[in-house]
Every structure is written in C-alpha cells, then in structure tokens.
C-alpha cells in the first residue's frame, strides 16, 4: 500500500512569504492610507491606555493571526514559533521533560493527574494526586501552570528541581525532588484482553508510530488466541492522516480507504488497501468526541462492512489541513481539502452514525475496561463480538 507522502508545498510557502513581505511594503509605502491610518490609530491608543505593555511584535503577530482567523475556519491557524513547536510535539507524541500530566486542582495548586509509566517522574516516585508547588525554587499556582510547564520541560539530560507536596504525606511539608529530563513518548495505544479470548485496543490519538504500535498490539493479541477485537476510539480527536490510512490498510482487504479533493474539485489523493489484512471479527467504539483520523478509520471499516460501529454519532470533521513551516520557526495550518469515505460521502458537520446507537448513563463514573460494569457501550461491543 502506498502511504501519503508529506509534501512541502513550495509554491504556497512562497505565496505566504510574499504576502508577509507585501504587507511590510504596504506599510512602508502607505498602501491604503485610510485603512493603515485606522490600524495605527488603534495601535497607539492601545499602547497608551492598555493595562499592560504591548510591543510592535505583538501587533505584528496579531495581524498574522487575524488574517487566518478571518477565514472563519476552526481548523486553520497561524502559529507563533512557540506554538508551532508545541503543535509538532503533540502530533509526534514526543517531547523532552519529566513525563507527568498535570491539571489545576480545586485548591488552585498544580495537581498531578498521573506520571507517564517509565518516565523520569515515575522513577523518582511522583504520584497521582501530588501537588507541584515550585519549579527550580520559584513558587507557582495553578493560574500560572503554563509558565510552570515551560520551566519543567527542557533538554534531555538536564535537571529540574520540583517542590512536591505529597498526597500521602501526613504533614504539609514540601519535599524538593530533583528530576533528570529525558525524551518522553506518549502512548497512543492501550491493549488488553477481556474474558480471556476477546481483544481490546484503545487508540487515544493518531500520532507518529501509532500504526506501528497498533499492529504490534493486534499481533500480540492474535498470538494469545483472541477470537475478536474491540477497537475503542471514543474521545480520539484524530491526528496524522498517514497513521489512520496504515491502520485501515492492516484491517482491510483490497478496497478503498479514503479520498480527498481540493477547492477546484480535483482529487489530490485516493488511498486503497492491499490484499493482505488481519482477518478477525471487529467492533469499533465511537462517540461525539471521535473526530478526523478516527472517523476515517471508522468510515473505512463501516463502509466496507468490515466492522460494526457502536456508540454515538461521531464529531464530523471531514476536512484536511496542511502544515506549512514559515521563516523564524512560525507555521501555518491551513484547510486545503475535504475527504470522502469509500461510499463517496463527506461527513463534515454531520459525523458518522453508529450501527448500534448506545447512550451512556448520565451518572457513569468512567468508560473503558476499568469501568466495564457501567460502560454499556463496551458491554454491547462485547455482546456483538461474541455473536460473531
């Protein structure tokens, strides 16, 4: 099966660069004097009266962001160099730090949700529920969490000192813990067995190597003799298109997977699977938060009658974005095409209806294997797998 190649759109990059250059020339030469006058008047008023200091760079970045926001497209975005780096980290699933997930606590303290298994944070004993009070001697509250995270992250091999208030401590003593930063790999695949002979694979998002990890998990389950596999993509926001296509190819015989067209109606890619595939009964779990790449896999399996879908109608994101690097480390994420399921349907704004609509109880505590007694969607998936 051919994989979609990452294409550097030189022409588009030149157009964006030329646009920025043209904007600068417009300012120097006056351009539309009336419009430029409004902008300058607004900038001067803000600089004089706004509560905090604003720089010329802030105004320039704001104009670039505003240009993209004028498209009224929730998926297109101009990234500053810092935002571009963060976006790449999220899609790659790799970053340098200590490997801990945090969130604001009700006490306005930075609270550890969970350390990533095998990460530096896990190895030094940081646990779920612990509070991060300080970073390198400076105190932070939950309101300053983004700033604290910037200082927690860092180059591989460097050290960071955290002030930890342990949830297991009998006193309110803050203990300083030194952690050596390392490369952190977020796991996008969760794999388990249910009732001995049913496989379960959860896909949290589609990032680099997700398809490789999925295939390893599926082959491992098959080696254990499972009779069917439940693929859980509830809450999966999507990610890298290549990874969704690769997983679809692994699960499908020689059929259509997905195609896409640009504004002119020209087909820019059409992906098909090869003859080889994993022939085992499948059930896919989806909900309102299953979007983008997870919808591509779901539609490919459903349209080709390879699996049935259980849960709720999916999010409905049927468009594709191209990421264009800009000078200085900035970037542009722009919607450039819309995709179509094997049946030729564009699901944007509509979503995919499951074969079996199942609503979760309003008082449910959680979903997944650990909440099987409450997760009626997973229960239905188990029932259907057993029937097959």
- pLDDT tens profile 39-71: 889 888 998 899 999 998 889 889 899 999 999
Which of 131, 185, 317, 380 does the annotation list as catalytic? 317
Same domain, 103 and 220: no
Shared domain for 263 and 161, answered yes or no, is: no
Residues 337 and 254 in one domain: yes
Does 173 lie in the same domain as 210? no
| pLDDT more than 70, % of the chain | 91
Please check the confidence at residue 34 and state whether its pLDDT lies above 50: yes
> Does the active-site annotation cover 317?
yes
Given a cut of 80, whether residue 141 has pLDDT beyond it is yes
Choose one of 185, 210, 238: the last residue of a domain.
Answer: 185
Domain boundary among 90, 111, 126: 90
Q: How confident is the model at residue 72 (pLDDT cuts 50, 70, 90)?
A: very high
Mean pLDDT over the full length of the chain? 88
213 and 351 housed in the same domain: yes
pTM greater than 0.85 (yes/no)? no
Asked if residue 81 and residue 204 are part of one domain, the reply reads no
pLDDT > 90? residue 133: yes
pLDDT of residue 170: 64
Indicate whether 3 pLDDT > 80. no
Q: Which of 90, 106, 140 finishes a domain? A: 90
The yes-or-no verdict on residue 8 having pLDDT over 70 is no
Specify the number of domains making up the chain.
3
- pLDDT tens digits, one per residue of 87-127: 888 777 777 889 887 878 889 999 987 787 778 998 999 98
Note whether 143 and 127 are within 8 A (CB): no
Is 303 part of the annotated catalytic residue set? yes
Do 68 and 110 have their domain in common? Answer: no
246 & 359 share domain: yes
Q: Which of 303, 333, 375, 380 is catalytic?
A: 303
**292: annotated active-site residue:** yes
Selected catalytic residue, list 119, 188, 259, 292 = 292
The pLDDT tens digits for 356-384 are 999 999 888 888 998 899 999 999 999 99
Give the range of the structural domain holding residue 128, as residue numbers without chain letter.
Answer: 95-185
Spatial neighbors of 251 by CB under 8 A, at least 6 apart, are 277, 278, 282, 301, 306, 307
Domain-located, residue 327? no
């Amino acid at each position: 099966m051919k994989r979609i190649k990452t294409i550097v759109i030189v022409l588009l990059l030149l157009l964006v660069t030329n646009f920025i250059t043209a904007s600068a020339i417009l300012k120097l030469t006056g351009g539309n004097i009336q419009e430029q006058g409004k902008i300058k008047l607004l900038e001067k008023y803000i600089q004089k009266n706004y509560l905090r200091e604003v720089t010329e760079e802030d105004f320039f970045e704001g104009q670039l962001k505003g240009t993209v926001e004028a498209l009224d497209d929730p998926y297109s975005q101009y990234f500053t160099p810092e935002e571009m780096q963060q976006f790449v980290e999220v899609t790659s699933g790799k970053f340098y730090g200590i490997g801990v997930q945090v969130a604001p606590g009700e006490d306005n303290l930075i609270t550890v949700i969970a350390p990533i298994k095998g990460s530096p944070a896990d190895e030094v004993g940081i646990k779920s529920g612990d509070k991060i009070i300080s970073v390198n001697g400076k105190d932070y509250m939950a309101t300053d969490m983004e700033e604290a995270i910037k200082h927690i992250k860092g180059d591989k091999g460097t050290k960071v000192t955290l002030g930890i208030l342990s949830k297991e401590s009998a006193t309110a003593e803050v203990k300083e813990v030194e952690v050596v930063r390392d490369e952190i790999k977020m796991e996008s695949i969760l794999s388990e067995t249910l009732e001995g002979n049913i496989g379960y694979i959860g896909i949290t998002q589609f990032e680099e190597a997700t398809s490789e990890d999925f295939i390893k998990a599926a082959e491992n389950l098959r080696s254990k003799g499972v009779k069917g596999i439940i693929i859980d993509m509830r809450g999966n926001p999507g990610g890298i298109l290549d990874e969704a296509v690769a997983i679809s190819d692994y699960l499908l015989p020689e059929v259509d997977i997905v195609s896409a067209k640009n504004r002119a109606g020209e087909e820019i890619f059409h992906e098909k699977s090869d003859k080889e595939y994993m022939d085992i009964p499948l059930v896919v779990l989806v909900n309102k938060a299953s979007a983008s790449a997870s919808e591509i896999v779901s539609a490919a399996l459903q349209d080709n009658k390879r699996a049935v879908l259980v849960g709720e109608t999916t999010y409905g994101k049927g468009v594709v974005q191209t990421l264009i690097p800009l000078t200085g480390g900035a970037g542009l994420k722009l919607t450039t095409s819309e995709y179509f399921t094997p049946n030729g349907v564009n699901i944007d704004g509509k979503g995919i209806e499951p074969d079996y609509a199942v609503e979760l109880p309003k008082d449910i505590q959680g979903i997944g294997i650990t909440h099987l007694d409450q997760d009626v969607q997973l229960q239905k998936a188990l029932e259907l797998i057993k029937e097959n």
